[in-house]
Chain A
Amino acid sequence: MAQPSNSGARRGAVGSKVGLIGRFRAMIGHHVHTFRDSLLRLFKEPLQTIMTSAVIAIALSLPATLLLAVDNARQFESNFESFSQITAYVQNDASPKQITTIKNQLEAMPEVASVTYVSPDQALQEFTAVSGLGSALEHLEVNPLPPVFIVEPKIEAPLGQDQAQQLLEQISQVTKIDDAQVDMLWLQRLRGLTQIGQKIVLALGAALGLGVLVIVGNSIRLAIHSRREEIIVVKLVGGTDAYVRRPFLYSGMLIGLIGALGAAFILLVGFWWLGSSVEHLSGLYNSQYRLLGPGFKGCLALIGAGATLGLCGSWLAVGRHLKDIKPR
């Protein structure tokens, strides 16, 4: 037995032969060991782990799904904002020559891609066919519909709200044009809805995030309880609070991480399941619209959020319950 040394007792230096690098490597080694140990412990009690993670997965997937829905609605909005058609109503007394002039004028505008003329007769025919009011409309003595130009703005230069407004004013100033309109009202309503949706996502996310904290905290509380003896021994041989805390923090983080992986899985499956139907539907509308998935970044953010929540939950539990365990 060698001469006893005090080196192990002092803070900072442990053992005269152990340098800073050795100590750092030992610390990393300890972290790896603790991490592995925490992971193995989760596998040792698979039912408990699966149940806890499943609850976390569901709690996380709810706000994530809603967030994705809001994101999709916004994408939908922006689609329409940039490609919306403008309807220009021409005064009823415009002569065919004037109409040709207007058409040329409209086509000359740089923001305009194409201009389609719909004569009052054509419009009436279409309306008769679509509305199903055929016989009633036949009784009309005069066609009340004005000649109309359908103006498509250029797709290469998607127009924002301001530019759309400018174009509208420009078109209305053309002689003999009564009015030009983009039907934006429903778009504004949709925007209002998505804003409400965003708020719901925030509220739901906060509430369910709190729920995840409680779930993780509870399972860590049980883990602390079942490892009570070990904690006491570790404290008796000079383990610091940080040392005692570490495995529980890793466990909490891992539970959150596994739960988040589950949530990401739920999200991806749901997206895949819904995606083909949406594609079919948008095909019927001749639209290029595709459902927006969570994407790699979104999944990563979700997993990060799960791990962070798990870590915070276990931190709270450890702070509360480790104090109760004192070696006697």
Chain B
Amino acid sequence: MIHFDNLSKRYPGGFEALKSINLHMDAGELAFLTGHSGAGKSTLLKLLMLLERPSSGALLINGKNVNRLANYKIPSYRRQLGVVFQDHQLLMDRSVFDNVALPLQVAGHPRKEMSRRVRAALDGVGLLSKERHSPMMLSGGEQQRVGIARAVVHKPRILLADEPTGNLDPALSAEIMALFRRFQDVGVTVLIATHDIDLINRMNCRIIRLEQGMVADNGGGYGSAI
């Protein structure tokens, strides 16, 4: 599903954020991406979201090299992804419902189908009763769950999460991880960037550890594909 082939990213100015990365994730796999700050985690996620382009090497998504994807095709590529952001990236002037509906709205879904899917997604994260609320009225954990609902409402094949449990207590973190597990169970490829070691240890999943832009550990955890 996701395949990095000898991929490097060098920023203008000479800083090499990623060096010859070789990675593979199967469809329906869940993996943690870990490493110190500056190890290249966010660069890797940015490359997957096509926010950055690699300097060399290939990034194959579902067997297709997306490096040379034309700019106008980027929006439709991003609709295959669901992304959970560390800082939620919710729009505070819209209701929870409208926030979650956004990916469907930009893809041009009819209203009726949109509300059905948004309600299903909100139900999945246990926030159906708060669809009319503003995200500002919600707690940090609830906001994060709204972000997750938005990331999965359009049934993406790949789910990326950047520090999804960043400032949540352990109980909430476990709850959110259980959510990710459920998406994995239905065949979504899930990649979670985090340095929450406790969480990783509890989950028994494949761990990809980056160190200074290189893959230091690939696999390791229980149930890994490689």
Question: Which residues of A are in contact with B by a Cβ distance under 8 Å?
Answer: 1-6, 8-11, 14-15, 17-18, 22-23, 25-27, 29-30, 229-230, 232-241, 243, 326-328
Is B80 engaged at the interface, CB distance under 8 Å to the other chain? yes
User: Known: A8-B79, A237-B102, A240-B75. Is A230-B107 also a contact (CB below 8 A)?
Assistant: no
Shortest Cβ distance from B182 into A: residue: A1
In whole Å, how far is B154's beta carbon from the nearest beta carbon of chain A?
Answer: 5
Shortest Cβ distance from B157 into A: residue: A4
B49 and A26 within 8 A (CB) = no
Within 8 A of A (CB), among B166-183: 182-183
Bound Cα distance A23, B105 (Å): 11
Which of B108, B120, B157 is close to A14, meaning CB atoms less than 8 Å apart? B108
Bound Cα distance A235, B79 (Å): 10
Is B124 engaged at the interface, CB distance under 8 Å to the other chain? yes
Contacts of A241 in B (CB 8 A): 72, 75
7 contacts between A and B (CB under 8 A): A3-B186, A9-B80, A9-B156, A11-B73, A14-B107, A15-B109, A236-B89
A236 and B49 within 8 A (CB) = yes
Shortest Cβ distance from B110 into A: residue: A26
Chain A to chain B: the 4 pairs with minimum beta-carbon distance, closest first: A238-B78, A238-B79, A9-B80, A239-B106
A4 and B108 within 8 A (CB) = no
B187 and A3 within 8 A (CB) = yes
Contacts of A235 in B (CB 8 A): 75, 78
Contacts of B111 in A (CB 8 A): 26, 29
User: Known: A1-B186, A25-B110. Is A229-B91 also a contact (CB below 8 A)?
Assistant: yes
Contacts of B110 in A (CB 8 A): 18, 22-23, 25-26, 29
In whole Å, how far is A44's beta carbon from the nearest beta carbon of chain B?
Answer: 10
Contacts of A11 in B (CB 8 A): 73, 76
The total of Cβ contacts below 8 Å across the A-B interface reads 106
Contacts of B186 in A (CB 8 A): 1-4
Shortest Cβ distance from B155 into A: residue: A4
Which of B51, B187, B188 is close to A327, meaning CB atoms less than 8 Å apart? B51
Bound Cα distance A56, B110 (Å): 37
A8 and B106 within 8 A (CB) = no
Q: How large is the interface on B (under 10, 10 to 19, 20 to 34, 35 or more residues)?
A: 35 or more
Shortest Cβ distance from B159 into A: residue: A4
Which of A9, A30, A233, A238 is close to B91, meaning CB atoms less than 8 Å apart? A233
Is B103 engaged at the interface, CB distance under 8 Å to the other chain? yes
Which of A17, A25, A230, A236 is close to B83, meaning CB atoms less than 8 Å apart? A236
A26 and B157 within 8 A (CB) = no
Within 8 A of A (CB), among B79-102: 79-81, 83, 85, 89-91, 93, 102
In whole Å, how far is B52's beta carbon from the nearest beta carbon of chain A?
Answer: 9
Contacts of B157 in A (CB 8 A): 4, 6, 9
Is B9 engaged at the interface, CB distance under 8 Å to the other chain? no
Contacts of B90 in A (CB 8 A): 233
B79 and A9 within 8 A (CB) = yes
B108 and A9 within 8 A (CB) = no
Which of A2, A3, A18 is close to B113, meaning CB atoms less than 8 Å apart? A18
Contacts of A326 in B (CB 8 A): 51
Bound Cα distance A26, B101 (Å): 13
Bound Cα distance A4, B151 (Å): 13
Shortest Cβ distance from B27 into A: residue: A4
Bound Cα distance A3, B186 (Å): 6
B77 and A30 within 8 A (CB) = no
Is B119 engaged at the interface, CB distance under 8 Å to the other chain? no
Bound Cα distance A327, B45 (Å): 13
A30 and B79 within 8 A (CB) = no
User: Known: A1-B183, A3-B186, A237-B150. Is A230-B91 also a contact (CB below 8 A)?
Assistant: yes
Which of B72, B80, B81, B89 is close to A233, meaning CB atoms less than 8 Å apart? B89
Shortest Cβ distance from B121 into A: residue: A1
Shortest Cβ distance from A240 into B: residue: B75
